[in-house]
Structure formats: C-alpha cells, structure tokens
Amino acid sequence: MTDQAATRHLSSQRGTDDPARRRPDATGTGYAHAKAILLGEHAVVYGTPALAVPVHGLGVEARVRPAAEGVHVDSELFAGDAATAPGLLRPVVTALSAALDLVGLASGAQVRILSSLPHERGLGSSAAVAAAVTRAVADLASVELGPDALYKVVQEAERHSHGNPSGLDARAVVADTPIRFQRGRVAPLEVGAATTFVLADSGGAGSTALAVAGVRARLDADRPGVERVFARIAELVEDGAVRLARGDVAALGEAMTEDHRLLAGLGVSNETLDRLVAAALAAGSAGAKLTGGGQGGCVIALAGSEEHADELATALRGAGAARSWTTTVPAA
C-alpha cells in the first residue's frame, strides 16, 4: 500500500488553508500502550515469529499543538527546543518530523508527552511514544493514518533508538489484542481462556540497542550454534500460539521458561532477571521469562488466576522487584 493510500484526509476539501489547521489553540492527541513479549524476542530480529500481548494499564499520551516555528518538546525527561533534546528523545523528534511531513504540516509544533510507561524496561516505551506522537500529529491535521503508514513512521523513529528493530514493538504498541508478528506482518492470536500475567521490574534499565548488538556479536562468532537457538525459539513460539489458543497455561508456561533459558544462553539475561524468574517459579508460576531486550528491564510470569497474580507479585517484590503490574488477556 502506498503512503497516500494508507493516509486518508478525513475531508478531501482540507488543505493547508484549512482554518482548523491554523487555529493556534487546536490540539491533536494520540495514545499508545505498553506491550509485553510472550515468546520470541531477539530471534525475531532475524525473521522468526514472536508473540506479544498489549498492556493496557500502561501507556503514553501525546498532545501536539501548532507553533509558528521550531519544535518544542515537553516531557518528564526533557523540556525545550527539540534540536537540543538528549539522545533518548531522538525517536520522538524523528517521529514528530516524519509525521508532520507525512500529513503535510510544514510549520512548527509543540508536543507534550504524558507517560505512565517506564522507559528502558522492555515494555515498548520508545515505540509507544513515537506512535502516540504520530497519532497526535495526524489528529491535529484531521488525517486518518492507516496501520502501515503509522508503522513506517514508528519504525523510522525506532531505528534511532536501536539500529535494527524487527518492527515487533512498532506493531505491538498499537495492537488491541495479542498478536503473532513476523517480518513486519501481524495477525491476532486466539486466546482459549483468560490468561493473567505479572510483569516485574528488575529495577535496572536494559538497553535494547546493546542487547541486540550483543546477540549480533554471538551470531557472528558462532552462526550455526546461534541459528540452532533461533530455530528452537521459533518452535517455542509456534507451540506457544497453539497452547494459548487452547488455554493450556501449564504448557504455555513451559515454553516461556525454556525461552528464558535460551535467551540467557544468548547473554541477554542477568542475575536479577534469573533470580526473579526462579522466584516466580517457586511461587507457583507455570512459566516465567525476561521480556523485551533484557540485560535489565522486566520479567513476565504466568499466573493461575488474578488472586495467584497477587501472590506472585508479593513473591517477586520479596525477591527484589522494584515494582510490578498485572495484566489479564481476555479469552478471544
């Protein structure tokens, strides 16, 4: 699909003279939520499939207003001229200017970012900020962005945050349902029974860029060995999708725990993440693993019920988790 086809002006009459576009008090808003990867991170960068679930309780709202000139950002991390924003804000600035170009707004903008989504925790913060900003710009311009146009802008922003993104995060932070992702394409997943997960923050930041680069170095050093690991992860993903569709929590959990061990073998776990996974299993979780880039960030643990999720959260905090969130994926 072309960008033109994917991007539809709500009113074909609207041009750059549209008063709604020039009103200084006009505000566009956009939202995107967190995601958690159930199975398949890292291998997905090399074309294998992965499964992710939305985390609706954590998200980012962006508000964009037109400005006479320049781009001004106001966020928890930084407030000021976008040209002087720190590296962490590069994806936002990239998304903002790509989105302004895409919808044909040439002038400046003021963007305010309100986020409940912690960054560098493997929950998709950089993709969610980029998606929220892009949606806010589209809203300001009364342009409806198709999913592929939105994906393209978020991917451009993601390249600034970690070089070679698979596209999984860009798709997952705007997907309302659990998804299977492979090479840019997404399909909703069948969920046989409501499934509850606890996400626990190890308290340490994880750099996806460094973790992805570390796996790349291992692949370069031992291609056959690492490709065997990727092939096994791909099997776990396919089995996991079937187990989720059946509502077989015990079997899904086994796949998650094995995936954690494989990821640890690729060097993307650390002592704290391993300790949290062990604590979740000791507290009766059917399976647990790191989620996202790793080397910090979060673990995701399967709970048997919402009550069990409370027990798991307590156990995880007892083992050193800085905080935790519970999310339930409904049957669908």
Cβ partners under 8 Å of residue 254, min gap 6 = 286, 287
For position 214 contacting ligand MEV by CB under 6 A, the verdict is: no
Number of residues interacting with ligand MEV: please give it, by CB under 6 A: 14
For position 45 contacting ligand MEV by CB under 6 A, the verdict is: yes
Burial of 216 (0-12, 13-18, 19+ CB in 10 A): middle
For position 44 contacting ligand MEV by CB under 6 A, the verdict is: yes
For position 166 contacting ligand MEV by CB under 6 A, the verdict is: yes
Alpha carbons 10 and 23: distance in angstroms, whole number: 18
Helices H, strands E: what count in the chain? 11, 13
CB 32 within 8 A of CB 128: yes
Q: Which of 49, 66, 253, 293 binds ligand MEV (CB under 6 A)?
A: 293
| Contacts of ligand MEV in 118-147 (CB under 6 A) | 122
The stretch near ligand MEV (CB under 6 A) out of 15-23, 34-42, 131-139, 319-327 is 34-42
| Contacts of ligand MEV in 167-186 (CB under 6 A) | 168-169
CB 133 within 8 A of CB 92: yes
- Tokens matching residue 309: 């999720």
| Contacts of ligand MEV in 233-292 (CB under 6 A) | 292
Q: Return the amino acid letter for 41.
A: E
For position 42 contacting ligand MEV by CB under 6 A, the verdict is: yes
Write the CA distances from 142 to 10, 19, 29, 60, 135, integer angstroms.
6, 12, 11, 20, 10
CB of 169 to ligand MEV, least distance (A): 5
Query: Judged by CB, which is closer to ligand MEV: 140, or 181?
Result: 181
Q: In whole angstroms, what separates CA 243 from the centre of its chain?
A: 23
CB of 40 to ligand MEV, least distance (A): 8
Q: Which of 49, 66, 91, 165 binds ligand MEV (CB under 6 A)?
A: 165
For position 297 contacting ligand MEV by CB under 6 A, the verdict is: no
Which residues make up the interface to ligand MEV (CB under 6 A)?
A: 37, 41-42, 44-45, 122, 165-166, 168-169, 208, 212, 292-293
